[in-house]
Amino acid sequence: MMGLEPKNLHSSIPVPSVQELASLQLEAVPSRYMRDDMESIISTVASDNTLRVPLIDMTKLVDPESQETELQKLHAACKEWGIFQLINHGVSDESLRNMNKQTQEFFDLPSKEKQRWAQKPGSLEGYGQAFVTSEEQKLDWNDMIFLKALPIEDRNPEIWPENPPKFRESLDRYSQDMRQIAVALTRFMAMGLEIETRELCAAYEEGLYQIRMNYYPPCPQPERVTGLTPHVDIPGFALLLDCGDTPGLQVLKDGRWIFVEPLDGAVVVDMGRITEILSNGLYKAPEHRAVVSKSKERRSIVTFCYPALSFKVGPAMELIKLGSPPLYKTVTVEEYLGCFFNPKPDVPFIDTMKI
């Protein structure tokens, strides 16, 4: 989910496939993808290769002997960065490899075949681009397919590709694997914040898991486009799998864009607004973006993790009892999503959540 607030976020206007455009071997990018502000973005916040996104080891969080030290690292990562790489997370390499393979095979299908699962009017689900709300809007240099995966009753079989043949089966398993990571992580984050874990873990057990597969083709003018516009995610957190070794994800840290270097087998955990609100602003939901390459394609799979719709999103009671005033309102996840999808004109989404 992007942190953009245009007029209507419930659906997206159909736009040309970027993959098709890239196959034309253009020398220049069409004007709708050209960003006039890219030069100022690049010159004011140069990418910094000396800073590294924190690395958290799930086995050390589970092991009683190393747990306290690793919890401190996790707490610091959530406070100072809002993003980290998670290793030894318990999901098999086979599941990750399989989903990577299905994503590649889907984007390799002929254009006409992919269009069988194109977004339908009034829905964000399916193959296309997200949050295109006007004919004048600048476009990102990517194609994507967005699917609701869990709970199972949220799935729309008309939009779930039947080709590649193992796509559905792989996505079913992958979404359950991501839920397993989310529930485990939620418990450790709650321990780091010293708040009640049971209710929060149960909310993620019953939560919503929505998956977006991105394809970023090579671009003749990568410095003039964005793969994904800078934004902040709105769920509890997002779990990102890079499907190769081409870096593209960048996070804004202290005014500088930092590459999140792909790490084989790792999952990138990116805090969303729900976690920021729950922690009463202690944990940060960071601004991030995707950049593209002149010669290399890139694919990624992002799982957006939300607590159950009835769960109340607001600063945790334990943190308020310690004397910090609540910075945010308390609303159900359903009301929270209603506020995001029906934005107030010229009011940033997070401001509508503040007291």
The answer, yes or no, to whether residue 136 has pLDDT greater than 90, is no
How are strands ordered across the β-sheet holding 288-290? 228-231, 288-290, 249-253, 256-259
Q: What are the pLDDT digits (tens) for 281-296? A: 999 999 999 999 999 9
Residue 243, Cβ density class (10 Å: 0-12 exposed, 13-18 middle, ≥19 buried)? buried
198 CB contacts (<8 Å, ≥6 apart)?
none
Percent of the chain with pLDDT over 70: 91
Biggest distance spanned by C-alpha atoms of the chain: 60
Q: What are the pLDDT digits (tens) for 33-85? A: 998 766 544 434 445 556 899 999 999 999 999 999 999 999 999 999 999 99
304 CB contacts (<8 Å, ≥6 apart)?
1, 208, 209, 210, 211, 212, 233, 235, 238, 272
Would you state the structure tokens that stand for residue 150, as one six-digit string? Answer: 């869990």
Percent of the chain with pLDDT over 90: 81
CA distance 169 to 102: 10
pLDDT mean across residues, the chain: 91
| 339-352 average pLDDT score | 90
Q: What phi and psi, each to the nearest 5 degrees, are found at residue 198?
A: -60, -50
CA distance 246 to 101: 16
Beta bridge partners of 24: none
How are strands ordered across the β-sheet holding 208-216? 55-57, 83-87, 267-271, 237-242, 298-306, 208-216, 143-150, 126-128
| 325-345 average pLDDT score | 94
Given this model, what pLDDT does residue 328 score? 98
Would you state the structure tokens that stand for residue 111, as one six-digit string? Answer: 């254009």
Given this model, what pLDDT does residue 134 score? 74
The answer, yes or no, to whether residue 9 has pLDDT greater than 70, is no
The answer, yes or no, to whether residue 3 has pLDDT greater than 80, is no
| E-strand stretches of the chain | 55-57, 83-87, 126-128, 143-150, 208-216, 228-231, 237-242, 249-253, 256-259, 267-271, 288-290, 298-306, 312-313, 331-332
Nearest C-alpha neighbor of 119 from the set 13, 212, 16, 208: 13
Given this model, what pLDDT does residue 135 score? 76
Q: What phi and psi, each to the nearest 5 degrees, are found at residue 227?
A: -70, -40
| 117-128 average pLDDT score | 90
| 115-120 average pLDDT score | 93
Given this model, what pLDDT does residue 11 score? 57
The answer, yes or no, to whether residue 143 has pLDDT greater than 50, is yes
Give the Cβ contact number of residue 39 at 10 Å: 11
Given this model, what pLDDT does residue 26 score? 86
Given this model, what pLDDT does residue 322 score? 73
Would you state the structure tokens that stand for residue 113, as one six-digit string? Answer: 């075949």
Given this model, what pLDDT does residue 335 score? 97
Q: What are the pLDDT digits (tens) for 220-278? A: 999 999 999 999 999 999 999 999 999 999 999 999 999 999 999 999 999 999 999 99
Q: What are the pLDDT digits (tens) for 10-34? A: 556 778 899 998 999 888 899 899 9
> Which string of DSSP letters, residue by residue, matches 152-196?
GGG--TTTS---STTHHHHHHHHHHHHHHHHHHHHHHHHHHHT--
Would you state the structure tokens that stand for residue 186, as one six-digit string? Answer: 């939620």
| 206-225 average pLDDT score | 96
